[in-house]
Amino acid sequence: MRIVEEADRVTKRGEIGALLRREGLYSSHLDKWRTLRAKGQLDGLSAKNRGRKPKDPKEEELGRLRQENERLRTRLEQAELIIDVQKKLSRLLGLPTDETEENESK
């Protein structure tokens, strides 16, 4: 495909011959490729991006936010568990807590 495009850009007499000699091709190759291109059969030879398709930035952001949400939920559960244990321990030891101080002042 590159050679056909380069041949199409040639404007001076004799440049196509020089191009074909440089590439080691015959003029019949060029004619055949131009015919195939006109029929749309050379589309498979054009350069394509290889590898995975780029991810949508919104999908990446959504995934990151979901992970952060899960991490924060886990930390919240741990914090609530620690607070419950501290309250129970304070009651067992008879230590004043914010809740008992509020109840006594009422």
Q: Cα(41)–Cα(1) distance, rounded to whole angstroms? A: 11
pLDDT tens for each residue of 49-59: 778 887 888 99
Domain of residue 23 covers 2-45
Q: Establish if 50 belongs to a structural domain.
A: no
Write the DSSP symbol of residue 46.
Answer: S
pLDDT tens for each residue of 5-44: 888 888 788 888 888 898 898 889 888 888 887 887 766 6
Q: Cα(39)–Cα(43) distance, rounded to whole angstroms? A: 10
Q: Establish if 59 belongs to a structural domain.
A: no
Whether pTM > 0.85 for this model: the answer is no
Q: Establish if 54 belongs to a structural domain.
A: no
Q: Establish if 51 belongs to a structural domain.
A: no
Phi/psi for 50 (5° steps) reads -95, 165
Q: Establish if 61 belongs to a structural domain.
A: no
Under 8 Å between Cβ of 10 and 4 = no
Q: Establish if 21 belongs to a structural domain.
A: yes
Domains in the chain: how many in total?
Answer: 2
